[in-house]
Amino acid sequence: MKEKKLASEVVAVSVGPAQAQEVLRTALAMGADRGIHIEVTGKDYDLLQPIHVSKILAKLAQDEKADLVILGKQAIDDDCNQTAQMTAALLDWPQATFASKVEKTGDGLTVVREIDGGLETIKTTVPAVISADLRLNTPRYATLPNIMKAKKKPIKKVAPKDLGVDTTPRIEIVSVEDPPVRQAGSI
């Protein structure tokens, strides 16, 4: 987005334990201007829920005066597909989910999104929240000089409580069970 002059600054954010800093270093090496690590560790991380991440991202978007928040379409750990939608609702911003193409048009964005029946094109105003389909972008490779520069860039560390976000669990997992074993097929 910066290369196309659609963004003046890219801020990468990761919520999680210390290992999340490596993700931020990679983002910095790939061209992000700044990194913010919302440090959540141990049991607090294990109990972190999409609503908590949404509240954190919404507060950061307000504090940073962001015009656009781009997230992945779903988490790989719990497969929830909730964070972008809840973040947009908390901010009262329009959302475009499953975006495979985004273009700036006038005072807003035109977003092509993948739906069950094909492709849908929508227009939205900014500020907005977008959840990215894997086809939205082909990530660039981080060059060795940029990797070295990224190692020296500071990453701002923030705790959820510093943002006024309570991460007390709102949902309790009662049980997790393996699906029933299926009988082998016979011919």
User: Using one digit for the tens of pLDDT, what is the confidence trace for 100-157?
Assistant: 899 988 889 999 998 888 999 999 999 999 998 877 777 778 888 988 999 999 999 9
Residue 13: is its pLDDT beyond 90? yes
Q: Residue 84 and residue 74: Cα distance in Å, rounded?
A: 8
Give me the helix-helix angle, 20-29 and 144-152, nearest 10°.
Answer: 130
CATH topology of domain 11-163: Rossmann fold (3.40.50)
Mean pLDDT of the chain: 89
- Per-residue pLDDT tens over the stretch 141-184: 888 898 899 999 999 999 999 999 999 888 888 998 999 998 88
Instruction: Break the chain into its structural domains and give their ranges.
Output: 11-163
Global confidence as pTM: 0.85
Stretch (H or E) spanning 13: strand 11-16
The pLDDT of 86-96, averaged and rounded, is 96
The confidence score (pLDDT) of residue 186 equals 81
Write down how long the chain is.
Answer: 187
Q: Residue 33 and residue 118: Cα distance in Å, rounded?
A: 35
